[in-house]
Structure 1
Amino acid sequence: MKALLLYPQFPQSFWSYDRFMEMAGLKAVLPPLGIITVAALLPKDWEIKFCDRNVNVETDADWQWCDLVILSAMLVQKPDFHALIQKGVRLGKKVAVGGPYPTSIPQEALNSGAHYLILDEGELTIPQFVEALNQGQEQGIFRSLEKPDVTQSPMPRFDLLQRDAYLMMAIQFSRGCPFNCEFCDIITLYGRKPRTKEPDQTIAELQALYDLGWRGSLFIVDDNFIGNQRNVKQLLRELIPWMKQHDYPFTFITEASVNLAEDEELLQLMNEAGFYAVFLGIETPDQDSLQMTQKLQNTRNPLIEACQKINEAGMLIYAGFILGFDGERPGAGERIQAFVEQTSIPQPMLGILQALPNTALWKRLQKEQRLLESKGIGGTEVGDQNTLMNFIPTRSIDEIAREYVEGLWTLYEPKNYLRRCFQQCLSINLPSKRKQTRHFSPRQGLRLFAQLIWHQGLRQPEIFGQFWQQLWTILLKKPQALNLYLGLCAAGEHFWEYRALARQRITQQLGYDPLTEQNTLLVNKFYSKTV
């Protein structure tokens, strides 16, 4: 079998870092870990070609060569995903699809013409698919109610990647999350019992990346890295000596729940292992909204203190925030802004709540007849954080939209952004003896630094004084944070463009600009009432 594995393109989004990638001479932030794991699960006698369309587009010759096209996609990749299915069908190729998007909404892939749906987790469903092919089946849907033992998951095919095109590499240690947040589809897809790989299995993946020549940042893509704290500590205790032995070739970033701040031993182990950043799902500082959405782990201790503890443990904080929870009080956006300023989180991801398929939120809203299914998932084909909700909210949509756009506009005003980057780097307790966080090759680093000096140190009069003053202070007071600080500054070039794009997208959906006072047009007819 000749299989062409394709990963669809992403739209411009909060996480795409478009201008930053351009400045650094890179193509994409992360490689598609799922589909290169699928590649490792396919029969060894198959011929495989792989193309991440965010790095390089496949050729006509690739389409002619293959017998089978395999796609994996998340919801945000919806437009290109469907275009690829339809192209494969048009060219007479068999098309197989999998990943979170078709697993959640299989009918949409079938509607586009996909022949095989390899759903849920591939360790269990890919063997079913291969057996069906061997038996000559022309189509099929392959599912599993069970969750696979990830200790049996194969090593991803890192060798298929054009590694120098990415900002980071990626590995996975666990799947699943023990919490019960109403809006989250992770527990729907992967369950509430975190399943982890063995420490030596993860170390072997790191060794493979090391042997392939990768040095720099590495994202552990778990949706909650600390979901199984006993097992993650076992991993870290084996990772620390490996990192020392190899002279700290990687720096790690991951996602974790806020209760990370409650475990000092875990914080210390992550620091020693080389973790430089963590993404937290803070969502909102409003305790009543956290209670409403069942994010109870965020209510146990003050959130500002939790952020301070994580900074003190040597980790930069990225965080997600959401507007539009049921019962949300007016001014939620302003309270999120105040929280971000108090914690100096440089890159807060602000989004409008979406009811994702099969989540507890989706089921509740469906029961209450509040879902706006005619809008489609995510409201528009953009599929990003800046789309209006796909349900009737409990306060007016124009108020939520105004707070969202105003929040993004203010948080990513250049002076505000640079100030938070500066304050966050000063507050992180970085070890002075360890070498600096390294994200780029020397060539990429020099290119990025030169462009940063031009864009922020010379070209923009409204910030160049602030840029030089803060840079000089970092050199004097926190030189070990220099690389981290410069990377954050450079990322600002992306966010200053993104806030304008988000405002434009919301304006298109509302029919007016929420930052102006000319609210003379009616809000989208779907939101003609509130609960």
Structure 2
Amino acid sequence: MSPAPPPSKRSEDWRSSPCPRRNSTRWLKVPQTSGSSSRSPTSTDRGMLNLNSEGRSIMANGYCGDAFLEPRKGRAKSLLSKPVHDEPNVLMVFPQLPFSFWSVPEIRGALGVKGLFPPLGLLTLAALLPCGWEVTLADQNVGPIQDSDWEAADLVMVSGMHAQRRGFLQVIAEGRKRGKLLVAGGPYPSSTPEELIDAGCDFVVCGEGEATVPLLIDLLREGAEGGVIRSGTRPDLPCSPIPRFDLIRMGDYLNMAIQTSRGCPFSCEFCNIASLYGSAIRYKDPCQVVAELELLHRLGAPHSVFVCDDNFIGNRSKAKSILEAVIDWNRSRCEPFGFTTQTTVALGRDPEMIDLLTAANFGEVFVGVESPDDEALSRASKRQNLSGHILNWLDSICRNGLTVLPSFILGMDGEKRGVGRRICELVEKSAAPVAMVNLLQAPPGTRLRNRLQGEGRLVKEVIAEEEIFSPQNFVPDRPQDEVISEFKGAWEYLYEPSRFLARTYRYYLRMRPTRKAMARKKGTTYTGSKERRNPVHQSLLDLRGFLFLVWRQGMAGPARVQFWTQILGMIRGNPSRLKQYLISCAIGEDMFRIRRVLMNRSRRR
């Protein structure tokens, strides 16, 4: 084994040594892949990852960067009168998410799980802290913060997105009332640091943790007065540690989450990804990704894993290397995981990439179509969708074995009256079962917000309890009542139960059979992974979900005859896709719920 490089001065205290109270380390072997690189500080040239007893990576190199503190004068010093001691208790809080497309309360309730995804940002932050610091994670989407956790905390760290603003500010207020040292970070604080300072945070960390957390740790130890920490560095992701998955209960979540890249090469006006993470996409090494999957597998993670990159295929060669490594690992473990990710809709013109995704056991992709109106796309700098081939690309993704979940936005400048109807027509032609239809917002950190502010079109933001019903925070360039009416009309049309079931049925009859089914039909040998027997708990979850679906749509639903007729049709027409068909039908229950709420609100008005 090649020796680790000498630690930097900054890393001598904790990053380069085993955990002081858990000084046993182990080596986690991961399969060698052709795409693996030996340059990762979390791997060696033998494809092994240095982990402590809980699966936390022990970094051989210190993190370097140009992070700096912008002090805030006049801050109350009562919370900062003494430095943080050597082994503080840290309470990490992920605020409540509002009701939205991503909530899926019906599915979660049916399967007995509490959250959709774990808070990956906080789990990564926890891995960046010194080993001696005791960390407790409180995901408010899983349950409330316990009083005992509040009392034990020396330091409270809060992270989240702008959609969580309401819950975020409530946590800050409670922490302030309890006299806690407060640190905020993540996408929302990075875009509006002064708002969080004014709300009572002692430190607001802007930027990525790998570049900023080392300075934060030093400042906490020194008892600095507080302020805003910034960094212009975009850290290389091979320097990112394995997230602290040991801090969560796997059974609390419907899906696990990993990240393989950050950044996006596109500059859509309404999106803040490029401002947060840069336009150059940075990837983890394939061996890092495989090591994270191996750890999740050993911890008993659920089958579904969301690869939460903003554009997984932004760098084709890097994505290909990761997929090849995942294919090898997944097959060597009899495919314990299936994956979902986000890509551009142009994936449809790349059959080779689709083939790699399906070979790696990816089943679904989210794509941003945004609008059928070219003028709206052009004015929003979404020019990559102006080819005129959107429908063909969506069809290609389907026929080659992936479920596509297209996203649309209403309220964009340049869209014409009737865009809601045109969105519905596009969805029906593509037969995509589940489509997200959203009202445009102008979030902080976007070029859209800056432009609208310059034009005097921003309005006072209202913190809504339910994200999907948040009024637009700007004046659109056509009547707002017209925009909202078309938004609600699209949901009412697309998720009428019978129409939804018919569209879902067409989609999966159109999709090619699985590789195994095609090999069986041709009488050839299937070269994929061996048959995997589901763990008992997974089989019970599948049964529970099926019974839920049978009751809701096969017995109590308004289209129950159609439900059973289409199941028989799937068994005859494309039996290898029956499970995916049923999963999409089940997701429909949450879409029906959103439709009912929107229709009820319209009637009350």
2:476 to 355, 371, 393: 393
1:497 to 578, 583, 593: 593
1:382 to 451, 465, 476: 465
Residue range with higher mean Cα deviation, 477-486 or 322-331:
477-486
Is contact 2:334-2:532 (8 Å) kept? no
Is contact 2:391-2:430 (8 Å) kept? yes
Output the CA distance in 2 between the equivalents of 1:453 and 1:172.
35
Residue 104 of structure 1, CA deviation:
0.9
Moved segments of 4+, more than 3 Å: 434-440, 502-505
Residue range with higher mean Cα deviation, 331-340 or 359-368:
359-368
Residue 139 of structure 1, CA deviation:
1.9
Output the CA distance in 2 between the equivalents of 1:105 and 1:26.
33
Residue 75 of structure 1, CA deviation:
1.1
Q: In the alignment, does 2:544 pair up with 1:447? A: yes
Unaligned runs of 5+ in 1: 514-531
Instruction: Quote the residue 1:410 is aligned against.
Output: 493
TM-superposition CA deviations, 1:257-313 (whole Å, max 9, x none) = 112122222122112111111000000111221112111111125100000111122
Output the CA distance in 2 between the equivalents of 1:299 and 1:404.
22
2:556 to 459, 470, 478: 459
Output the CA distance in 2 between the equivalents of 1:363 and 1:84.
28
Unaligned runs of 5+ in 2: 1-87, 517-527
Is contact 1:437-1:483 (8 Å) kept? no
Instruction: Quote the residue 1:526 is aligned against.
Output: none
Residue 500 of structure 1, CA deviation:
2.6
Bigger Rg over Cα: 2
2:573 to 474, 477, 490: 477
Residue identity (%): 39
SS in structure 2 opposite 1:14? coil
Is contact 1:77-1:383 (8 Å) kept? no
Q: In the alignment, does 2:177 pair up with 1:81? A: no
Q: In the alignment, does 2:511 pair up with 1:422? A: no
Instruction: Quote the residue 1:256 is aligned against.
Output: 343
Output the CA distance in 2 between the equivalents of 1:416 and 1:177.
35
RMSD: 1.9
User: Structure 1 residues 283, 459: closer, same or farther in 2, change over 3 A?
Assistant: same
Residue range with higher mean Cα deviation, 53-62 or 68-77:
53-62
Residue range with higher mean Cα deviation, 473-482 or 195-204:
473-482
Output the CA distance in 2 between the equivalents of 1:121 and 1:233.
25
Q: In the alignment, does 2:445 pair up with 1:358? A: yes
User: Structure 1 residues 199, 95: closer, same or farther in 2, change over 3 A?
Assistant: same
Residue 238 of structure 1, CA deviation:
1.8
Pairing 1:271-290 to 2, within 5 Å after superposition: 271-290=358-377
TM-superposition CA deviations, 1:64-84 (whole Å, max 9, x none) = 111011111111111111111
Is contact 2:256-2:302 (8 Å) kept? no
Instruction: Quote the residue 1:116 is aligned against.
Output: 203
Q: Normalising by structure 2, what TM-score?
A: 0.81
**Counterpart of 2:550 in structure 1: which amino acid?**
I
Instruction: Quote the residue 1:487 is aligned against.
Output: 583
SS in structure 2 opposite 1:71? strand
Is contact 1:78-1:383 (8 Å) kept? no
Residue 436 of structure 1, CA deviation:
10
Residue 230 of structure 1, CA deviation:
1.3
Output the CA distance in 2 between the equivalents of 1:401 and 1:436.
48
Residue 386 of structure 1, CA deviation:
3.1
SS in structure 1 opposite 2:176? helix
Residue 57 of structure 1, CA deviation:
2.0
TM-superposition CA deviations, 1:87-112 (whole Å, max 9, x none) = 11111111111111111111221222
**Counterpart of 1:422 in structure 2: which amino acid?**
Y
Output the CA distance in 1 between the equivalents of 2:120 and 2:235.
17
Is contact 2:464-2:470 (8 Å) kept? no
SS in structure 2 opposite 1:385? helix
Q: In the alignment, does 2:271 pair up with 1:184? A: yes
User: Structure 1 residues 436, 262: closer, same or farther in 2, change over 3 A?
Assistant: farther
Q: In the alignment, does 2:298 pair up with 1:211? A: yes
SS in structure 1 opposite 2:505? helix
Q: Normalising by structure 1, what TM-score?
A: 0.92
SS in structure 1 opposite 2:219? helix
**Counterpart of 1:448 in structure 2: which amino acid?**
G
**Counterpart of 2:476 in structure 1: which amino acid?**
P
Q: In the alignment, does 2:323 pair up with 1:236? A: yes
SS in structure 1 opposite 2:445? coil
TM-superposition CA deviations, 1:114-161 (whole Å, max 9, x none) = 111122111111111101011111422111112111110000011111
Residue range with higher mean Cα deviation, 57-66 or 337-346:
57-66
Residue 438 of structure 1, CA deviation:
8.5
**Counterpart of 2:473 in structure 1: which amino acid?**
N
**Counterpart of 1:482 in structure 2: which amino acid?**
L
Residue 501 of structure 1, CA deviation:
2.5
Instruction: Quote the residue 2:400 is aligned against.
Output: 313
Instruction: Quote the residue 2:102 is aligned against.
Output: 15
Is contact 1:280-1:318 (8 Å) kept? yes
Q: In the alignment, does 2:183 pair up with 1:96? A: yes
Output the CA distance in 1 between the equivalents of 2:470 and 2:180.
34
Is contact 2:197-2:227 (8 Å) kept? no
Is contact 2:366-2:407 (8 Å) kept? yes
Output the CA distance in 2 between the equivalents of 1:53 and 1:453.
31
Output the CA distance in 1 between the equivalents of 2:112 and 2:449.
41
User: Structure 1 residues 383, 192: closer, same or farther in 2, change over 3 A?
Assistant: farther
SS in structure 1 opposite 2:358? helix
Is contact 1:177-1:224 (8 Å) kept? yes
**Counterpart of 1:355 in structure 2: which amino acid?**
A
Q: In the alignment, does 2:425 pair up with 1:345? A: no
Q: Which has the higher helix share?
A: 1
Output the CA distance in 2 between the equivalents of 1:437 and 1:178.
41
Output the CA distance in 1 between the equivalents of 2:463 and 2:480.
15
